[in-house]
Amino acid sequence: MADTLTPVLSDNWDQIKSWQLASYQRSGGYDALRTAFTMQPADVVATVKDSGLRGRGGAGFPTGMKWSFIPQDNPKPKYLVVNADESEPGTCKDIPLMMASPHTLVEGVVIASYAIRASVAFIYVRGEVLHVVRRLQQAVQEAKDAGFIGQNILGTGYDLDVVVHAGAGAYICGEETALLDSLEGRRGQPRLRPPFPAVAGLYGCPTVINNVESIASVPAIVKNGADWFGSMGTEKSKGMTLYSLSGHVTRPGQYEAPMGITLRELIDLAGGVRAGHTLKFWTPGGSSTPLLTAEHLDVPLDYEGVGSVGSMLGTKALQIFDDSVCVVRSVLRWTEFYKHESCGKCTPCREGTWWLVQILERLEHGNGTEEDLVTLLDLCENITGRSFCALADGATAPIASSIQHFKDEYLAHFENGGCPFDPMASTVFATAGASA
Amino acid sequence: MAENHATATDKPVPYSTGDSKITDATIAEMRELMARYPQAQSALLPMLHLVQSVEGRVTPEGIEICADLLGLTGAEVSAVATFYTMYKRRPVGDYHVGVCTNTLCAVMGGDLIFDRLKQHLDVGNDETTEDGKITLEHLECNAACDYAPVMMVNWEFFDDMTPESATKLVDDLREGNEVKSPRGATICTWREAERVLAGFTDGRADEGPTGGKATLAGLRLARERNWTAPGGSSNADAQKED
């Protein structure tokens, strides 16, 4: 039985200048790369497959299996693309990881590239995080200077270039095929699949796209073995992972634990829900995952556990909202976000999110009717599953789940002729007596 | 709160002012960016960041130069430039000040902070103060929810904000006082930031801490209680960041 918290990815974050190569190497950094180079690429793929590592970007697809889909008999160049476009509302794990220890990611990039025999790897980081971009740029340069990236790496004959690429502010680029279009210098719009990126990805070449945390987990797996990784977590959701607690808890932040910990345990570690209040609703993995409530506190936070109560583990972005928060206001704001971020390619998403906002605005301002709720749910049903990507599906998740759990609160809005909540009460400065 | 999202469009800016600052040196840097990729068009986003760092916005001259270099039409480059919210068609001030008003930050205080700043600076969303110092914009989630409510200045983090700390921050910026991000570097200008995003380093990566309190919350608890991953920690007893 593993300890309650198991820092692996975060284990060096309290070291002096942990973002520098020298500090990272003092913590054993790049030892795993040397180990990987003693193995055949296919054996590295097998190790990651055996570990049970599943994609940490939300979908939970087995990472090693994704790598094994790269057709090695295809004569085209192969590419690794790291999805560092962390933008899902509530999600805040990859940015602190890259800020504190960019070399963990860079080492994972070199190992993963070697495993799939990529010649160039790209780290596509969102543009709105200047200091993270700086630290990534420096880490890649340090790794080049130390001979971990470049020609004939560590005398193995393996060549790899790594490019840090800053995006320009588009949530949709976190969707892997939109990210590829964006990286090719186009508008970030999702592609129809098949073909899947493993066959025809960047520039039409075989491409693996992985989340930051997935790739950053690779060095530890190679170093300690698949069994070590599997000794943490649950049967089908193995390993440790970063759970991000935000909102109305006493000590929000990053908590690295074995897969399957519960929100009750995490909130306890974080010092409880804000004093004087109770938990009202929460997201298990960002705003695109259906809302859960206090009745779900003991659900194991792994792919199967959260799935079994009708939601998704997603990015493990646990946004905690207490009883001071209006659920209609919250859902309206998320919906406005999806409307703004819809790339416009597919009609159900482009038009649908627009209509969702119209109705939710009416409801929040007390001008709605019970019939609007029926229309909303009908719209959600018509939008879901009808676009190239999952953005619109995500947009409907908080709406449908909030009506399911909090229908009375929607009704109260038009019965009272407006929002019954005081927006000051939910703020962090509510108790300080400050006001806007 | 839909009024938060309104953008004033009643102040037209000229399509071109006719005084582009793009020089041969800029074009050489654009070619350098193009050479970093297997296919040159991949450099378009970095090139547009570079245009902003030189011009203070995406200008028609910048668009045409990108198009020429990449063998695209101006319309094709415009199509890209207008897709991404970080590319601005109106001049941006020295300091781009963003307030997260996505749900979590909004309920934690972001909405009230944004309202206060609009009032304090006498600007609307995506507008610049008359002295050209500050452009105010509401942001979508910036991946720092454990520090809500969050603000960004030239894409550097400002954590756990209040209306009071927000007004002090913008006052300091306007008065030219040195401002440091609690999880980043000393604040540079927006144009300098855009140059880094284009892919040209500024040597400031070593400024600032590894992370803030929330970043380290779980790790500190694990250290306190001697919790480790199986096999122990190689860092538990080593030198610590303060």
pTM of the model as a whole: 0.96
Which whole number is the average pLDDT over A12-25?
98
Interface contact B165, partner A, CB < 8 A: no
Residue in A closest to B143 by C-alpha: A92
CB contacts of B180 in chain A (<8 Å) are none
Kindly report the average pLDDT of chain A as a whole number.
96
- pLDDT reported for residue B3: 42
Check the annotation: does B66 bind a ligand.
no
**Nearest residue, CB atoms, B164 vs list A134, A332, A434:** A434
DSSP A127: T
Percent of chain A with pLDDT over 90: 97
- What is the ipTM for the molecules in this complex? 0.96
CB contacts of B214 in chain A (<8 Å) are 251-254
**Nearest residue, CB atoms, A231 vs list B102, B230, B235:** B230
Angle at B48 between CA B47 and CA B51, to 5 degrees: 90
- pLDDT reported for residue B8: 55
The domain made up of A327-416 is a member of CATH 1.20.1440.230: yes
**Nearest residue, CB atoms, B44 vs list A27, A185, A361:** A185
Going from N- to C-terminal start, the domains of chain B cover 24-81, 95-189
Q: A383-435: per-residue pLDDT in tens?
A: 999 999 999 999 999 999 999 999 999 999 988 899 999 999 999 998 644 44
Cβ within 8 Å, pair B218-A257: yes
Identify the helix (H) or strand (E) that includes residue B111: helix B111-121
User: Can you give the length of chain A in residues?
Assistant: 436
Rounded to the nearest 5°, which phi and psi values hold at B139?
-110, 160
Going from N- to C-terminal start, the domains of chain A cover 21-230, 240-322, 327-416
- pLDDT reported for residue B136: 98
Q: Which of B158, B151, B136 is nearest to B102 (CA)?
A: B151
From CA A204, how far away is CA B187, in angstroms rounded? 40
**Nearest residue, CB atoms, A247 vs list B108, B142, B154:** B108
CATH code of the region B24-81: 1.10.10.1590
Chain A nearest CA to B120, separation (Å): 11
Q: Which positions 145-164 of B are in contact with A (Cβ < 8 Å)?
A: 145-149, 152, 154-157, 160, 162-164
Domain A240-322 has what CATH class?
A: alpha beta
CATH code of the region A21-230: 3.40.50.11540
Q: Report the 10 Å Cβ neighbour count for B176.
A: 9
Check the annotation: does B145 bind a ligand.
yes
pLDDT greater than 50 at residue B5: no
Q: A333-379: per-residue pLDDT in tens?
A: 999 999 999 999 999 999 999 999 999 999 999 999 999 999 999 99
Pairing of strands A79-84, A120-125: parallel
CB contacts of A325 in chain B (<8 Å) are 107
Which of A103, A323, A333 would best serve as a mutation to test chain B binding (most B beta carbons within 10 A)? A333
For the domain made up of B95-189, give the CATH fold: Glutaredoxin (3.40.30)
Which whole number is the average pLDDT over A152-158?
97
Which whole number is the average pLDDT over A106-118?
98
Domains A21-230 and A240-322 share a fold: no
- The Cβ-side half-sphere exposure at A431, using a 13 Å CA radius, reads 6
From CA A195, how far away is CA A40, in angstroms rounded? 28
Residue A38: exposed, middle, or buried by beta-carbon count in 10 A (0-12, 13-18, 19+)? Answer: exposed
Tokens of residue B38, six digits? 């297997």
Cβ within 8 Å, pair B39-A203: yes
